[in-house]
Amino acid sequence: MLSREDNEILVRTGPGMPMGALLRRYWMPVVNASELEPGGRVKRVQILGERLVAHRTPGGRPGLVAEFCPHRGASLYYGRNEDGGMRCAYHGWKLGLDGTCVDMPNEPAESNFAAKVRTTAYPCVERGGVVWAWMGAGAPAPLPELEWTTLPLDHVFASKRVQDCNWFQAMEGGIDSSHISFLHSPLDHQDFSVTEALDRASFGVGAAVNTGDRAPRFEVVDTDYGVLIGARRTNPDGQWYWRITQYLFPFYTMPPVGVGEDVVQSHIWVPMDDTHVVNWMVTWHTKRPLTREEIALHIEGKGAHVCDYAPATSDPYGDVRTAANRDNDYQMDWDVHRTKMYCGIPGFGVQDQAIQESQGDVVDRTQERLGTSDTAIIQVRKRLLAAARALRDHGAAPPGQHAESFCVRSASLVLPPGADWVEPAKPLVLVRPTQTLTLV
Ligand code: FES
Ligand SMILES: [Fe+2]
């Protein structure tokens, strides 16, 4: 349970809000780099409550500018994509990549009005096949060295989709490791052929469910970049099966990979506004390119990606709204629900979306009743609340100042009963042998 004040801090991300200010101190993923053609069609996006237009100049530079023209508010979505910036289609004002008005052709040549006009524009960079924006004041921090952003592009598959709920309850679903034994399980918790058909591209979930232990014990460790989360289940042979989830500031979660598995996955939960979130899903092979067959499984929804979209619109992220949604009961198969699966919604990713949206637009955390299985969620809330308050009250630097500390993975390991899990986990979760895990 949270106080109303704490809940409000967690969920409000617009300009001027404490969480909005904190999130603006981290790089934001905007679009897949492949979505922006040089000089081509632009895309509407919405991030942290701001309507923006993502574009790529004919010369290839990505840009992110406020959607509505500073002159009289026309949408730059209809504008002209030129070298040096976007030109409004209404009266030809041109807004540079840095937000300055670089041309005002409908004013007399002797006018210096253009020099007095600015709009919002954010610096962008490209890394890992994604365009990232710095929406904060001041000089940008270094981009976090997430492993997948350092690999060749063919090792990585990234998709995204909109969910109609607050960012924080969606992210809590990415931290909560106990729900897989229910939401993503066969009805009898035994006939795994039912869920294996859905799990061909999602790694490690089946093994955890197969332990039959539905009440994992949680331990959390604070790190400089976030929280290392251990969820322990007891295998039928008595060994302890630890699934290790990563939380990285401010909005990255990594569900556990299977034991010895070289494919890692991460969600990024980017608030569009306070009742919509872009759920990025990134899958990468640490050693080789993903095969065409592997990517096809993701696109078919045989894992945590959801790439079956409703007909596209040009609204912000209007091309990544899922075909399965609240209006059609997420394509629930009620017969399967009754006879075979805990939840008859086809696909792990849609199951998560359905349940997170079912909590309402914004969860009222003054009413919840948390158990021991919510330990990790409680810890992540504490860290984010502390960081938001420290920034608001003292201007304290947000956690995660070292780009290299983000170069971590999730993991799973089997240990004897009673053994410590943190030391054995370190070589699995640290990507580079030279790294150390900084506990705080
Ligand atoms: S509204 Fe954009 S130039 Fe007039
Ligand atoms: Fe899930």
Enumerate residues 6+ apart whose C-beta is below 8 A from 358: none
Structural domain includes residue 14 = no
Q: Are both 208 and 69 inside the same structural domain?
A: no
Last residue of a domain, one of 79, 109, 134: 134
Tell me 16's DSSP state.
T
Q: Do 104 and 153 fall into the same domain? A: no
Do 343 and 424 reside in the same domain of the chain? Answer: yes
Protein residue whose Cα sits closest to atom 3 of ligand 1? 91
| Together in a domain, 194 and 92 | no
Measured in degrees and rounded to the nearest 5, phi and psi for residue 119 equal -130, 175
The amino acid present at 332, given as its one-letter code, is M
- Ligand 2 centroid–CA 348 distance in Å is 6
CA dihedral 92, 32, 361, 256 (to 10 degrees): -160
Q: State yes or no: pLDDT of 62 exceeds 60.
A: yes
- Would residue 19 count as lying in a domain? no
CATH number, position 128: 2.102.10.10
* Domain of residue 226, CATH code: 3.90.380.10
Q: Are residues 252 and 208 in the same domain?
A: yes
- Taking the CA of 173 as reference, the closest ligand is 2
Please provide the size of the chain in residues.
440
Task: Dig out the tokens for 101 from the structure.
Answer: 């008005």
Q: The tokens of 432 are what?
A: 């580079």
What single-letter amino acid sits at 387?
Answer: A
Task: Tell me which residue range forms the domain holding 223.
Answer: 147-429
Question: Tens of pLDDT along 7-34?
Answer: 999 999 999 999 999 999 999 999 999 9
Which of these ranges, 112-116, 125-129, 257-261, 271-275, has the smallest mean pLDDT? 257-261
Distance CA 301, CA 349 (A): 7
- Give the chain's domain count: 2
What burial class does residue 330 get, using C-beta atoms within 10 Å of its C-beta: 0-12 exposed, 13-18 middle, 19+ buried? buried
Query: 363: which 2 tokens?
Result: 């969860």
Q: Which protein residue's CA is at the shortest distance from atom 4 of ligand 1?
A: 91
User: Among 53, 78, 86, 91, which is best to mutate for testing ligand 1, by the most ligand atoms less than 8 A from CB?
Assistant: 91
Please tell me whether residues 318 and 217 are part of one structural domain: yes
- Over residues 62-81, mean pLDDT: 98
Whether 88 is in the pocket of ligand 1, judged by its Cβ within 6 Å, is: yes
Please, what's the b/e burial string for 303-322 (b: 16 or more CB within 10 A of its CB; e: otherwise)?
Answer: bbbbbbbbeeeeebbbbbbb
Does some domain include residue 5?
Answer: no
* Res 212: pLDDT: 80
Backbone angles phi, psi at 391, to 5 degrees: -70, -45
Which residue is listed with tokens 């897949």?
32
pLDDT in tens, 166-207: 999 999 999 998 999 899 988 887 777 777 766 666 655 667
At 107-139, the pLDDT tens digits run 999 999 999 999 999 999 999 999 999 999 889
Interatomic CA distance for residues 278 and 353, integer angstroms: 11
SS3 label, residue 181: helix
Residues near 102 by beta carbon (within 8 Å), at least 6 away in sequence:
84, 85, 94, 95, 96, 114
Top mutation candidate among 67, 78, 90, 95 for ligand 1, by most atoms within 8 Å of CB: 90
What number of other Cβ atoms are within 10 A of residue 3's Cβ? Answer: 10
Last residue of a domain, one of 78, 108, 134: 134
CA of 91 to the centre of ligand 1 (A): 5
Nearest CA to ligand 1 atom 1: 72
| Any ligand 1 atom below 6 A from CB of 402 | no
Backbone angles phi, psi at 312, to 5 degrees: -70, 145
Cα 92 to ligand 1 centre (Å) = 6
Establish whether residue 241 lines the binding site of ligand 1, counting it when its CB lies within 6 angstroms of any ligand atom. no
338 in contact with ligand 1, CB cutoff 6 A? no
| Ligand 1 centroid – CA 90 distance (Å) | 5
78 close to ligand 1 (CB < 6 Angstrom): no
Show which of 110, 134, 158 is a domain's final residue.
134
- Does residue 176 share a domain with residue 120? no
